[in-house]
Amino acid sequence: MLTRSRLSPDLAADLRKTAQAMADAARAATLPHFRARDLAADNKLAGGFDPVTVADRAAEAAMRAVLVARRPADAVLGEEQAALPGESGLTWVLDPIDGTRGFISGTPTWGVLIGLNDADGPFYGIIDQPYIGERFEGGLGLARVVGPRGEAALGVRPAASLAEATLFSTFPEVGTGAERAAFGRVRDAVRLTRYGMDCYAYALLAAGQVDLVIEAGLHPYDIAAPIAVIEAAGGIVSDWQGGPVHEGGQVIAAASTALHVAALKLLQPA
């Protein structure tokens, strides 16, 4: 069974080419629908609002078609279609549009997430923002962004104290009441808190623009790609107890060990 430690250079190159082809296919599927005034959204959540659009479904279908053609033995876990088992030991973890609420609102902070897992979790990922044209890639020896300004290396910024840090989260209403209180303790300790960036917040952390991302209630497809990209850039991603988080749940991403430890202390029950 394949693991990251047993990947040959040729296989690693093939995996990267496959991921790039999936990201290209998802761009082609999503962009015609972005900011379309007649775009409809179905609600997947009774008692709340969890939208899905034709663009979400088309993007995942396009990415899965690439895998069928290029790597049919790999497993697939996606948001919009049933999981597919595989035989290779590798699993592609796909979120066709992370940030559908932003997508239907016209904000360019949604993204396509492509993660690649072995038995130990994510080791390669892409965060792609089709409208801006930025692609953040991490793992398999790479940590880079390719966009309108060309190609640049990814790298978290030098360690800041908690009092100097910039914190991102998608929603001010983080998780349960207890989770909101824990998040609030970190929010009150940092210099700047911003909301609503979805996966783009993780990309900005990997690019050295922000220091912390804290969220709760995530699914595996929300976090697999960000884990790989941020770790390749030198950052840390864990659950709120400091353990692995590739199954989702409570997530903290930090630019440094010191910042990670300081924020974790505040996230623990008071």
Q: Do 22 and 63 meet the contact criterion of CB atoms below 8 Å apart?
A: yes
Q: For strands 75-78 and 192-195, give the pairing.
A: unpaired
Q: Which DSSP symbol is given to 217? A: E
Q: For strands 75-78 and 91-98, give the pairing.
A: parallel
User: pLDDT above 90 covers what percent of the chain?
Assistant: 89
State phi, psi for 43 to the nearest 5 degrees.
Answer: -105, 120
Burial class of residue 227, CB neighbours in 10 A (0-12, 13-18, 19+): buried
52-88 pLDDT, tens per residue?
Answer: 999 999 999 999 999 999 999 999 999 999 999 999 9
Residue 51 burial (CB count, 10 A): 18
Residue 31 pLDDT > 90, yes or no?
yes
Q: Using the structure block, give the residue that is written with the tokens 């082609």.
A: 28
Task: In whole angstroms, give the CA distance from residue 255 to residue 205.
Answer: 7
Task: In whole angstroms, give the CA distance from residue 3 to residue 66.
Answer: 21
89-148 pLDDT, tens per residue?
Answer: 999 999 999 999 999 999 999 999 999 999 999 999 999 999 999 999 999 999 999 999
Residues of CATH 3.40.190.80 domain(s) within the chain?
162-267
Instruction: State the CATH architecture for 4-153.
Output: 2-Layer Sandwich (3.30)
* CATH number among 3.40.1350.10, 3.40.50.2000, 1.10.730.10, 3.40.190.80, domain 162-267: 3.40.190.80
Residues of CATH 3.30.540.10 domain(s) within the chain?
4-153
What residues does 118 pair with on adjacent strands?
121
pTM above 0.85, yes or no: yes
State phi, psi for 238 to the nearest 5 degrees.
Answer: -150, 180
